[in-house]
């Protein structure tokens, strides 16, 4: 696999430009036909049959913060069991400019489902927090983060707890339950301890979500429930003031669960609380409510309630699946299922049909960013061929898979999908407008800080099309193959 990755990286670094009608451009394509970030240099689309489509560079929306994945214990554990050469390859593949150029990341405070077991950073029920130590993360998560920082220094990391230590909860358990009100202050101090301990390791945490999935997960793994009112009280009465007192300038994100009606309900409470707003950066969301719908209504409503606050996608993955190893074609087939179908109410099961993994990723990134999401963070960066390790057997798929026995890495087509966005859209880019496309096509259009334009174009249809792109009173015509994703760079 190293050979194919090396060729792809070299191609990106040495790619030449094409010209049409005075526009200089580059075009990269991945498709169900086997193309993987291939440079498209010479094509002659049919001008007569081309569909006219316009980009509006002067119509600006949100600034893009970035793209990334998660440093889970599972991912980091596997990474430490790769040989040094493969460790370096993976870090370069995700974080270098010639790789995916990730500039966002997420990690967990205490354990999560993608840990080897349940743990926290204390020795027993220590209400003084004097025993607080990051020791459980020193063998894997911390070294992997430091390796990534060695390649890219501007990674913005979001840290999320799945649960407080059980002694702080009403059910005295890792799974389920609520934080006892008498421990709100101590739990806020725990965040402060974590932030300061990570700083001592040379790791600055950019932001925090208060709780991963506060609506719970039926107590199947680490979790802790909040109502929106409880979360608001915890932030404005404890976490926010304690961050201020400790001099911690970190973003606080609310919610951190799925889009849809629940997001709107939480946003109505949290984003209209004038005492809370000064403490929060915005809202975190996940994608698991549907395998095809990104819920633009709920995202747009969240933005409208507080336009000055951000929306960040903090987790997404292909779940309920054991990964398909060295099988690129599967990731382009409509065969994937999700856990959501199992837990959805009968009237909501229509939201969870089988889906094409590549399409789901690309549709969600394009759709959510066209609905005010400013950053899109994937879940595990690395998993094994079983979809773990995972101490509750919640198997999932990651963009890169590792067989530590044979010392092999498999870069799935999901890695390519992420690169179509992350490699070409740096922090500080701004989403710009465009005209409508046929139903089977979607596009994200952004202007980079250097004023070049990026178009990420998805075609989920079964027919090839020609597209005449109008921009700056000039145009170029592109071939749009079926089942393809393309990134166009226009200078």
For the annotated catalytic residues, the residue numbers are 213, 315
Helix H or strand E encompassing 486? strand 484-490
DSSP state of 336: B
DSSP state of 350: G
Helix H or strand E encompassing 442? strand 441-447
Q: Is 471 left (phi over 0), alpha (psi -120 to 50) or beta?
A: beta
CA dihedral 370, 372, 378, 379 (to 10 degrees): -130
End-to-end, the C-alpha distance of the chain in Å comes to: 32
The closest of 54, 98, 100 to 472, measured between CA atoms, is: 54
Residue with tokens 């400013």: 374
Could you tell me the two tokens for 57?
């560079």
Q: Write the CB contacts of 466 (distance below 8 Å, at least 6 apart in sequence).
A: 45, 46, 47, 49, 50, 51, 477, 478, 479, 480
DSSP state of 237: I
Q: Is 156 in a helix, a strand, or coil?
A: strand
Beta strands in 298-440 (DSSP E): 310-315, 318-319, 375-380, 382-383, 396-397, 400-403, 408-411, 430-434
Could you tell me the two tokens for 439?
């139903």
Could you tell me the two tokens for 96?
């270098």
Does 389 sit behind a cis peptide bond, omega within 30 degrees of 0 on the bond before it? yes
What whole-number distance in Å separates Cα of residue 99 and Cα of residue 285?
26
Could you tell me the two tokens for 480?
């749009």
CA dihedral 454, 298, 435, 36 (to 10 degrees): 40
């Amino acid at each position: 696999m190293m050979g194919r990755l090396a060729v792809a990286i070299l191609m990106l670094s040495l790619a030449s430009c094409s010209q049409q009608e005075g526009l200089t451009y580059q075009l990269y394509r991945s498709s169900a036909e086997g193309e993987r970030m291939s440079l498209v240099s010479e094509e002659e689309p049919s001008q007569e049959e081309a569909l006219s489509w316009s980009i509006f560079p002067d119509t600006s929306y949100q600034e893009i913060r970035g793209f990334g994945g998660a440093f889970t214990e599972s991912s980091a554990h596997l990474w430490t069991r790769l040989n040094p050469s493969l460790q370096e390859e993976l870090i370069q593949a995700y974080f270098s400019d010639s790789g995916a150029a990730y500039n966002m990341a997420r990690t967990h405070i205490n354990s999560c489902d993608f840990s080897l077991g349940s743990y926290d950073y204390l020795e027993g029920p220590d209400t003084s927090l004097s025993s607080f130590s990051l020791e459980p993360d020193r063998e894997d998560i911390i070294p992997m983060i430091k390796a990534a920082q060695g390649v890219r220094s501007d990674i913005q990391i979001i840290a999320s707890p799945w649960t407080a230590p059980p002694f702080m909860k009403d059910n005295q358990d890792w799974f389920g339950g609520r934080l006892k009100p008498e421990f709100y202050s101590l739990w806020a101090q725990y965040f402060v301890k974590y932030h300061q301990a990570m700083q001592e390791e040379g790791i600055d945490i950019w932001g925090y979500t208060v709780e991963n999935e506060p609506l719970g997960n039926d107590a199947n793994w680490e979790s802790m429930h909040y109502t929106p009112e409880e979360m608001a009280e915890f932030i404005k009465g404890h976490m926010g003031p304690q961050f201020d007192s400790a001099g911690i300038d970190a973003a606080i994100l609310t919610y951190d669960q799925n889009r849809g009606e629940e997001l709107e309900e939480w946003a109505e409470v949290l984003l209209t609380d004038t005492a809370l707003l000064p403490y929060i950066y915005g809202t975190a969301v996940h994608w698991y409510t549907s395998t095809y719908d990104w819920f633009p209504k709920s995202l747009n409503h969240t933005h409208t309630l507080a336009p000055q606050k951000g929306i960040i996608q903090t987790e997404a993955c292909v779940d309920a699946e054991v990964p398909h190893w060295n099988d690129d074609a599967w990731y382009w087939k409509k065969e994937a299922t999700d856990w959501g179908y199992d837990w959805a109410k009968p009237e909501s099961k229509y939201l969870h049909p089988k889906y094409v993994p590549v399409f789901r990723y690309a549709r969600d990134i394009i759709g959510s960013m066209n609905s005010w999401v400013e950053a899109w963070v994937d879940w595990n960066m690395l998993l094994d061929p079983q979809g773990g390790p995972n101490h509750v057997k919640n198997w999932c798929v990651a963009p890169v898979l590792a067989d530590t026995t044979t010392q092999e890495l498999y870069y799935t087509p999901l890695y390519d999908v992420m690169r179509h966005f992350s490699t070409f859209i740096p922090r500080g880019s701004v989403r710009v407008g465009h005209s409508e496309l046929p139903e089977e096509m979607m596009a994200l259009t952004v202007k980079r800080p250097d004023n070049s334009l990026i178009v990420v174009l998805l075609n989920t249809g079964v027919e090839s099309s020609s597209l005449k792109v109008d921009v700056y009173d000039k145009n170029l015509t592109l071939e749009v193959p079926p089942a393809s994703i393309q990134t166009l760079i226009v200078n």
